[in-house]
Every structure is written in C-alpha cells, then in structure tokens.
Structure 1
C-alpha cells in the first residue's frame, strides 16, 4: 500500500511546486510596486504614470523605461490608426482644405513617432555597458522627436474648427503625455547608468 501511494505523493508534490513557481513572489511584486511609485512621483504626469505602469512587473529602471516606451508606442499606434481612418474619411472635396491638409500632415508626423518609439524600444532591449551613453542619447533624441511630432501635429489644427479638431487634440495630447513620461523614465535610467535602483 505504501509503495502505491508513493507515485501519487510525488505527483502531488510536483504539481504544488509547479503552481508555486508560476506565482510571482510577493517580494518581486513589492519591489515592482515600490519602483513604479517612487519613479512616477516625479514624472511629468504622475497619476497617468501610475495608471499606465502600475501593472508592470518591472524590477529595475531599465524594465520600467521599456514598459513606459511600450505604453507610448501602443498609444502612438492607436493614434496612427485613428488618423489614417480620419484621413480616408476626410478625403472628399466637401471636407475643408485646411482640415484635409492638417490630417494628412498629422498622419505623417505620428507615423514618424511610431518609427522613433519602435527604434527606442529596440535600443532599450539591447543596451551594452560599453555603448550605454551613446544608446541613451539615441533613445532621448528619438523620444524627444516623437514629442515634437505631436506638437507639430496639434499646431496644424490651429486653423481647424469642430469635432475633428477636438478628437485629434484629445488623442494626441494623451499620447504626448505618456511619451513625456517615457522620456522621464529614459532620463532616469541614464542617470542610474542602468544599475538597479529603487
């Protein structure tokens, strides 16, 4: 009887070990929560930072910078899709010329932002100690350019009135805010030289 129970006990032991291994440790969750809170408190938009990064499992400033750029890239892609659709629906001759031009310019600018944020995320995933400063400079330049694109897009709508302007402004402003927070996280990573810090 004892020998027939042994395989069953071993199986139960393995299953419980496997389940425990899948659960994130409370220490890791606490470290991540502390890192997000302390990092976000001085971000450009602290509440938005906490809202967008609170679920991140980040353990280091590098993890957090990657997560922040990931959020920014996701928003930029959504805005890009929205603008492409808007451009298609604004192509008729009944649409005011200023609006058509503003939307068309904005499509290009946000598309550039998507490219710049993609390159930034790729750079952050492949940091090397010997090229760290140069890579940080690239990341800062690209994210700053993405922010400039957002500003330029909004500038193009100054002479446009109505719902389209309000919709574009809302979406671009939201994207710009998470991008500004991402730039802050990159600057913070640069200051830490990539070392873990709370």
Structure 2
C-alpha cells in the first residue's frame, strides 16, 4: 500500500512527458505541413507539389530542405524514366517507324542529359555557402532550367509522331517535366528567401 502514491506519481510524470512529446511532434508536423502548403501554393503544379513533398521522407523544415527535396524527387523520376526509355529503345527499335525511332533515340539522350543536370543541381544545393550563395544559386537555376528544357524538347519530338510507344513515353516524360518544373520553382523561391547560409570567412 505504501508504494501506491509513488507509483501514481511516477505514472503521472511519465504520462506528462508523453503528452509533451506528442505535442512537440504534432507541432513539428504542423509547421512542416504549413511550410509545404505555402511553398506549393503557387507552384506550376501545386497538387503534384503537395503530394510529392508531403510524402517525402527526408527533412523539410526550411526552404532549402524543400528545394533539395523537390530536386531529389525530380532526379529520382528522371532516372527511372531514363532507364525505361533506354530499355524501350533497345527492345522495340526494329518494330517502330523511322520518325518514332529518331524521336525515341533523341529522347534517351535528352533524358540522360537531364539526369546529369539535376544531379549537378542537387550537389550545388547541398553545398551552399554564404559567400558564394548567389553564384551557386545561379548555377542551380541554370542546370534545373536546362533539365526542364531537355524534358520539354523530348516531348516536342513526339508531337508529329504516330506509333505504339508515343502515348506511354509522353505520359512518363510529362510526369518528370512537371516535378522538374516544381523543383525549379522551389529553387527560385529559395533564392528569393532569407533562408541562406551564413557567411563564413
């Protein structure tokens, strides 16, 4: 009987800490959700932006986190589609007409370039420094823009092409181009924000 008051006290303390922990976690999630929502609100494809960044498993607490996350999503999808196009190109090369074959071949090259450019973009965003911030952001914007141009050029190459692979390829490339467009928007938003690394002489 004499141990009951101590047991109640310890239980109450534990429960209080648990409530505080849950509250802190909820507040962090709310803040992250608010940041993503406000950041995606004016993106070119806000619904895609919200869906991809809300399900992203990495940190997303600052504009810099969001920019990196958006580029990672774009890079991941570009790699998958690039691999898919390479496989399609090698497997159906003899069974498609010349115009479709040329468009597909060009698209393989353009997506490969896009993957490389997005990789450079991500690397630049990971190593931002206060003293070179503007120069690095210009690099990131240039590479992300080039990646988007390559994806759009791939789509344009299929405009006047009829064939069995056109529909599937266009659907996949359109998906990549939209997340890349959102990534470029997040990079531009970071460039305009105050979320900059401090100057380290």
Gaps of 5+ in 2: 1-16
Query: Using the alignment, how far apart are the partners of 1:158 and 1:49 within structure 2?
Result: 26
How many residue pairs end up in the alignment? 184
Moved over 6 A (4+): none
1:192 aligns with 2:193: yes
Query: Using the alignment, how far apart are the partners of 2:159 and 2:46 within structure 1?
Result: 28
Query: Using the alignment, how far apart are the partners of 1:187 and 1:159 within structure 2?
Result: 33
Contact 1:61 1:195 in 2 (8 A): no
* TM, length-normalised to structure 1: 0.84
| CA offset digits 1:33-84 (Å, max 9, x no partner) | 1100110011000111001011344100000000000100011011101100
Query: What is the Cα deviation at residue 195 of structure 1?
Result: 4.3
Query: Using the alignment, how far apart are the partners of 1:83 and 1:144 within structure 2?
Result: 21
Alignment RMSD: 2.6
1:79 aligns with 2:81: yes
Q: SS in structure 1 opposite 2:172?
A: helix
Gaps of 5+ in 1: 1-16
Contact 1:65 1:185 in 2 (8 A): yes
Contact 2:130 2:196 in 1 (8 A): no
Match of 1:11 in 2: none
| CA offset digits 1:128-187 (Å, max 9, x no partner) | 000001111001000110111011111211231133111111111110000000011000
Q: SS in structure 2 opposite 1:153?
A: helix
Query: Using the alignment, how far apart are the partners of 2:96 and 2:26 within structure 1?
Result: 56
Query: What is the Cα deviation at residue 97 of structure 1?
Result: 1.0
